[in-house]
Chains A and B, each alone.
Chain A
């Protein structure tokens, strides 16, 4: 589904036609290990699921890449590739490398944007010769994690912003049943169009936009006029946040 002209939702990622790039947000590798350290002895499925999700994404992407011989120019990882600050374990290190190796098969270049959780990213990225950047901009589109507002010229001049960080999700309610789905948000920030991407972490849904308050400085103001796109299976347009906030009628 097209979010903006030439910008399409593909599974949980965002394809930008103009620059033949795919943006992936908030993967949070090491999520289960972090839970383990907190005393939740959860068995590990996260990486397996992430890999399966990537596979699905690339399959869905194929028809869009016809004019590019089936290959992406860039894959942009928009921050928080790894979960949590603090230490990095051998397994997390190996998983990040495996993840980057899968991506490199599908693109010419990987761009790693730093998130608020990515303190240890530098050394791992170096291992694969990938630079870690604060943000990425091309063709009037500016991609950054979203935990702070950049002060660069590129940012000021950008027409479209793409951020992650907040893991938006939306709860839908029918009578006594409530279900929550990952979603993209489309709105604006200081006069520019802005897209908020859901997390690529398969084991958590995210923050309910109807109920909870966001922390990102990009979302400090009201998001009532933001539009909701549920990203599950086919993508579904759900109108504006304020429309969903009204007491949903019960039959």
Chain B
């Protein structure tokens, strides 16, 4: 049973189990037990599965380890310490692993000093960076605590000598559960945990997580199933332990009537003031390019403060080298930096010393993420976290104000945990077959014990087995493709081929290699940045695009380099690529929709401005300035057109330069709008046999077309029970499906990054995956890995289930659809039109497209000749 532990244990209880040495050490370092410790330590001591959720710096890690260290010190004292792994600690961050090792080795040394003898407790890290010699040493003298990553755990579980050491593990700690549960690394880990559990049936699982919701679902993910129902797990909720000091700030009083230059000045002045008023500030931007931009402008505007010889400002994001990041972390810990700007890389628990202010530039898009980021400040248990969200436009302002309300009221948005991912399944089955022979039925039950595969159908399971055993390939060629054999008579499964172990060890993992193209100035070797490869595919000669805040004109590409001209004075002709952008969470979107509804009610009832301002002030926890801006923004929309809300989708039509635009105000977040817009566009396109351009944002989407289209009719035509079929068709020719298929093909080891001693460049992977997807389609349109790519797009990238519910609500008239016509985009429509991620729904046959393009060019050539 999964249950919340409501009453913490008493300090005396903890004291009674602690070894005198451990106790002495503990109180030499800490005054008292923290709440997470009072909640968790006894449970871990009793080998119960537990999930501890608490903000960063709330002594979570020690909570996880205290009972374990205690047990090891006890065994050491009684001379019963065995040569085996007692505890496995897993963290998604390699960088964190070394921190953890030090944080265990140091206390152990101190305890040795206290007890005045050697304890002989060994701690070792095993990651992709561990040398062969160190690995060999571990086999001879196994560490009592093994620190590793999900990927390396996958490897040791398939290494027959190491497996011997994992047969009596007592605890498995999974750190940063919140960073794993949402993606395929977590899915992969969920099976690894079952593999480990089947080796060590008595093992208890300990999950450590920052702010996340819903906790019971995450606990179920951590604990898995036994005999078809969730294993028991105690939830220790200390999420709101730290005090929070949160504010939304606007650089200028009015976000609309302000020139770009003024806004820019005001923004950096505000940031500088905040930095100067604090000791160390951490700034989060949502993208890597924005990170660079902020640093550039701060240095330019305040050279004395930020561009001195020994700079007090630094960048920290995923594209920077490891050495650079380490040096930034080091300087932070030493207190040498005044400010660090990061995209997402500092969200996780790397020790960065004392931060007293976190600035979020632009909306963090989810309450949980906001709290995780802001929780990086006041890194001590009793220090309050201080966060300032700076908003840059009016939609941002409303969004962040509602986010702040949810954060204060402890309403955390729910995460999505992927299930039944067939690519990860294929990788894991291969790994299991490498470790030892196993019966088909036993394997199936092992897999179903994972939360992520509890619903795995026998059909899908068998299809993955068919794929792995090369059933789809003629016998003649099977030796190249088959990774396992399945004996139909005995039901046994085993590995196939001498290379299988090497292939598995060198290609394991779930994080896709992204394809980036370097952008260089033509005629020089000067690189100005990187763009996504898929973005390059859309670029045409002379297209102007934005990169790192500057404009470039695309000239030509050669291999993995795009050559550009840097001196352009035309506006961009192609929208930026938003693949890095975080989607707004559905729960937060609903809260914003609800606020819009409340505002409209006030306007409808002719409430006075003062009354409404009072309401905003009370409802949203914002200052007078912000309340005033929000009032004006909502009022303008109300007077100009119509305010859309959680229970009302407004469909707005207008024309621009002969092109018809239909803006659908459906504020449900991009994951829903991605699905909804494609389904609507598909319904329209199919009746017209022409491509439809769509633009998707968190707040809605638009459809652009040459003729008038009836979007409300299309919305009503879409039936919730047909959504899956419609969407599967709608994404069939999309770039996103091809791209995700490449990731899935790599995870399921159809594309090997490392093979025959060669490492494969991602650029080549992209080209070959195009060929591969075509070939796979010919085997079957429902080939398991293609099916998985489709599932990933529809369920993980988009949110089909929620979209389905939305359509149901429209069918049941719980959500109204209101149609309006405008002469120009309404205030709420601006951002939807301007900042959309555009895509095209391909309906037109390729041959038809060619014919149409041909007649167009003939017209043009004809004109030129005349």
Contacts and interface: CB of A to CB of B under 8 A. Distances in A.
A140 interface: no
A38 B758 contact: yes
B583 to A, nearest CB: 20
Contacts of B542: 245-247
Nearest to A171: B540
A238 B472 CA distance: 42
A210 B752 contact: no
Interface centre among A32, A40, A179 (most CB of B within 10 A): A40
A222 to B, nearest CB: 12
Nearest to A175: B693
Given A211-B557, A247-B542, A236 B850 contact: yes
A171 to B, nearest CB: 7
B568 interface: no
Nearest to B562: A211
A43 B473 contact: yes
B736 to A, nearest CB: 13
A244 B774 CA distance: 28
A39 B760 contact: yes
A40 B772 contact: yes
A181 interface: yes
Given A43-B779, A247-B540, A251-B659, A176 B840 contact: yes
Contact of A213 (B481, B556, B749): B556
B573 A232 contact: no
Nearest to A236: B854
B846 interface: yes
B756 interface: yes
B857 interface: yes
A117 to B, nearest CB: 17
- Chain A, interface size category, equals 35 or more
Contacts of B537: 178
Interface string B409-424: 0000000000000000
Contacts of B850: 172, 179, 181, 230, 232-233, 236
Nearest to A33: B480
Contacts of B477: 43-44
A174 B704 CA distance: 13
Nearest to A234: B851
B832 to A, nearest CB: 16
Interface centre among A39, A43, A213, A243 (most CB of B within 10 A): A39
A178 B554 CA distance: 16
Nearest to B503: A39
Contact of A239 (B704, B754, B772, B857): B857
A176 B752 contact: no
Interface string A166-187: 0000011111111101000000
B639 interface: no
Contacts of B764: 38
A212 B754 CA distance: 28
A223 B130 CA distance: 53
A245 B851 CA distance: 19
A177 B537 CA distance: 10
B691 A251 contact: no
Interface centre among B472, B769, B771 (most CB of A within 10 A): B771
A39 B853 contact: no
Interface string A17-60: 00000000000000010011111111111000000000000000
Contacts of B540: 171, 173, 178, 210-211, 247-248
Contacts of A38: 755, 758, 760, 764, 768
Interface in B511-553: 537-543
B842 interface: yes
B473 to A, nearest CB: 6
Nearest to A210: B541
Contacts of A40: 750-752, 760, 765, 768-769, 771-772
B838 A176 contact: yes
Contacts of B754: 39
Contacts of B704: 175
A230 B852 CA distance: 13
B265 interface: no
Contact of B573 (A179, A213, A247): A247
A175 B473 CA distance: 40
Nearest to A205: B770
Contacts of B849: 172, 174, 177, 179
Contacts of B768: 35, 38, 40, 42
A232 B850 CA distance: 9
B226 to A, nearest CB: 36
Interface centre among B857, B860, B864 (most CB of A within 10 A): B857
Interface centre among A211, A232, A251 (most CB of B within 10 A): A211
A203 B753 contact: no
A87 interface: no
Interface string A117-160: 00000000000000000000000000000000000000000000
Nearest to B761: A38
A103 to B, nearest CB: 24
A239 B854 contact: no
Contacts of A233: 847, 850
B658 interface: yes
B590 interface: no
Interface string B767-790: 111011011101100000000000
Contacts of A171: 540
A39 B771 contact: no
B702 to A, nearest CB: 12
A177 B753 CA distance: 30
B7 interface: no
B706 interface: yes
B861 interface: yes
A204 interface: yes
Nearest to A203: B771
A177 B556 contact: no
B839 interface: yes
B854 A238 contact: yes
A232 B854 CA distance: 12
A246 B863 CA distance: 15
B558 interface: yes
B691 A175 contact: yes
Nearest to A228: B857
Nearest to A37: B756
Nearest to B659: A251
Interface in B447-465: none
A176 B575 CA distance: 10
B778 A211 contact: no
A41 B541 contact: no
A179 B541 contact: no
A151 to B, nearest CB: 28
Contacts of A230: 850, 854
Contact of A211 (B541, B752, B767): B541
A42 B764 CA distance: 14
A36 B853 contact: no
B840 A177 contact: yes
Contacts of A43: 472-473, 477, 481, 775-776, 778-779
A240 B704 CA distance: 31
Nearest to B657: A251
Interface in B723-774: 749-756, 758, 760, 764-765, 767-769, 771-772, 774
B541 A176 contact: no
5 contacts: A37-B755, A42-B772, A174-B852, A204-B767, A232-B850
Interface pairs A-B: 5 shortest CB-CB: A39-B755, A39-B752, A176-B840, A40-B768, A236-B854
Given A43-B481, A173-B540, A204-B767, 5 more contacts: A39-B751, A177-B691, A212-B556, A212-B558, A243-B857
Interface of A: 32, 35-45, 171-179, 181, 203-204, 210-213, 230, 232-233, 236-239, 243-248, 251
Interface of B: 472-473, 477, 480-481, 537-543, 556-558, 573, 658-659, 691, 693, 704, 706, 749-756, 758, 760, 764-765, 767-769, 771-772, 774-776, 778-779, 838-840, 842, 846-847, 849-854, 857-858, 860-861, 864
